[in-house]
């Protein structure tokens, strides 16, 4: 299969490199100049797996304006706030036959992708896996040996032949995919997960394991999960997990799967970049408002993360 990754940072590289190693033809498109230039200069990207075995993996990398490929499927992995601009820079090479697949965090990307791709060509999901871009041209796949899992669903909730082929390629590349037929419920499960762990670990600059070890963590997680589920119920979203399963997932990932990991919003804050909080807790607030419900704790947390971003700028 032919893939083109659009947004070749931490996760774009992980999906692209592992699909390439599983026998697919993969191109990479990116807009961050120091990163593209570095990969060209060194003849690829340096990939570590669980901080070890750092090796140079050759990749074909392009700026949007010079790209001429014709993939079966694009894989989008920008940050939420970058996507609209990146799509504008790329749309000249999109074709109606091509699929768009993404596992970006938060919500906001679906409507933007639907401006360029037909509903039956859109497949989105969530990735429970951790990847760190150490700097331009240098990435670390955490849990590299098949440790993560992911869910995906068609926007139409009707998997076609292409979707099943995509799942097979993701299996071969060890992403452990589960195909669902509940689009919004699948995406919202990760929004809720991130609204707890990603946000709190970012604000208090702690690992997921450190958060989960706090004796009040279950109370805090439960309050945020309950409020998020109240929003989703009012919005008519059928969740794929019960509230208890969502709490169990927060605890499992934080205590067992990735206790040493700093979530992706923390990494943004650490690198003086804006976080995706408006598309995570902020999205729950917006969805609540649209359904006459005030998600007060999520609104408060959204403000707190923005305050933390402001403080960070002073350093």
The residue among 144, 134, 162, 115 whose CA lies nearest residue 46 is 134
Would you say 133 or 166 has its CB closer to ligand NAD?
A: 133
Beta strands 60-62 and 52-57 are unpaired
If binding is defined by CB under 6 A, does position 9 make contact with ligand NAD?
A: yes
Which residues in the 92-131 window bind ligand NAD by CB under 6 A? 104-105, 127, 129-131
If binding is defined by CB under 6 A, does position 38 make contact with ligand NAD?
A: no
Among 5, 10, 144, 225, binds ligand NAD (CB under 6 A): 10
Sign of CA dihedral 175, 79, 58, 65: positive
C-beta of residue 284 within 8 angstroms of C-beta of residue 228: yes
Minimum distance from residue 281 beta carbon to ligand NAD (Å):
13
If binding is defined by CB under 6 A, does position 151 make contact with ligand NAD?
A: no
Minimum distance from residue 32 beta carbon to ligand NAD (Å):
4
If binding is defined by CB under 6 A, does position 144 make contact with ligand NAD?
A: no
Minimum distance from residue 204 beta carbon to ligand NAD (Å):
18
**What's the distance, CA 281 to chain centroid?**
15
Nearby residues of 15 by Cβ (< 8 Å), 6 or more positions away: 5, 75, 77, 103, 173, 175
Please report where in the chains the tokens 């906001």 appear, as a residue. Answer: 108
DSSP class per residue in 33-47: HHHHHHHHHHTSEEE
Report the C-alpha gap between 169 and 156 in whole angstroms.
Answer: 21
Minimum distance from residue 38 beta carbon to ligand NAD (Å):
10
Beta strands 2-6 and 73-76 are parallel
Which residues in the 176-195 window bind ligand NAD by CB under 6 A? none
Among 18, 20, 27, 35, binds ligand NAD (CB under 6 A): 35
Rounded to the nearest 5°, which phi and psi values hold at 279?
A: -100, 0
Minimum distance from residue 140 beta carbon to ligand NAD (Å):
10
If binding is defined by CB under 6 A, does position 298 make contact with ligand NAD?
A: no
Q: Give the count of residues interacting with ligand NAD (CB under 6 A).
A: 26
If binding is defined by CB under 6 A, does position 77 make contact with ligand NAD?
A: yes
* Rounded (to 5) percent helix, strand, coil in the chain: 50, 20, 30
The residue number with the shortest CB distance to ligand NAD is 9
If binding is defined by CB under 6 A, does position 73 make contact with ligand NAD?
A: no
Report the C-alpha gap between 283 and 302 in whole angstroms.
Answer: 10
| SS3 state of residue 40 | helix
Among 115, 242, 244, 271, binds ligand NAD (CB under 6 A): 271
Footprint on this chain of ligand NAD (rule: CB under 6 A) = 7-12, 30-32, 35, 77-80, 82, 104-105, 127, 129-131, 133, 264, 271, 273, 276
């Amino acid at each position: 299969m032919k893939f083109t990754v659009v947004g070749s940072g931490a996760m774009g590289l992980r999906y692209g490199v592992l699909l390439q190693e599983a026998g697919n033809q993969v191109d990479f498109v990116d807009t961050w100049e120091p990163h593209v230039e570095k990969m060209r200069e060194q003849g690829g990207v340096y990939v570590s797996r669980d901080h070890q075995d750092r090796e140079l993996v050759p990749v074909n990398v392009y700026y949007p304006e010079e790209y001429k490929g014709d993939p079966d499927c694009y894989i989008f992995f920008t940050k939420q706030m970058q996507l609209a601009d990146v799509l504008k820079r790329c749309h000249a090479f999109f074709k109606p036959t091509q699929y768009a697949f993404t596992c970006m965090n938060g919500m906001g990307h679906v409507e933007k992708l639907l401006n360029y791709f037909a509903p039956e060509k859109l497949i989105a999901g969530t990735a429970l896996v951790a990847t760190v871009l150490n700097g331009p041209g240098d990435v670390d796949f955490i849990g590299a040996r098949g440790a993560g899992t992911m869910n995906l669903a068609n926007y139409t909730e009707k998997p076609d032949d292409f979707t099943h082929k995509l799942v097979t390629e993701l299996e071969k590349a060890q992403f452990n995919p589960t195909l669902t037929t509940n689009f919004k419920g699948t995406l919202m499960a990760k929004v809720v997960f991130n609204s707890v762990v990603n946000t709190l670990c970012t604000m208090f600059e702690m690992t997921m394991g450190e958060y989960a070890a706090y004796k009040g963590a279950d109370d805090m997680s439960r309050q945020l999960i309950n409020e998020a589920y109240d929003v989703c119920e009012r919005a008519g979203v059928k969740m794929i997990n019960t509230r208890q399963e969502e709490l169990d997932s927060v605890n499992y990932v934080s205590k067992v799967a990735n206790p040493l990991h700093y979530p992706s919003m923390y990494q943004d804050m650490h690198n003086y970049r804006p976080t995706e909080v408006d598309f995570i807790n902020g999205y729950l607030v917006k969805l609540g408002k649209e359904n006459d419900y005030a998600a007060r704790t999520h609104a408060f947390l959204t403000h707190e993360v923005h305050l933390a971003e402001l403080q960070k700028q002073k350093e």
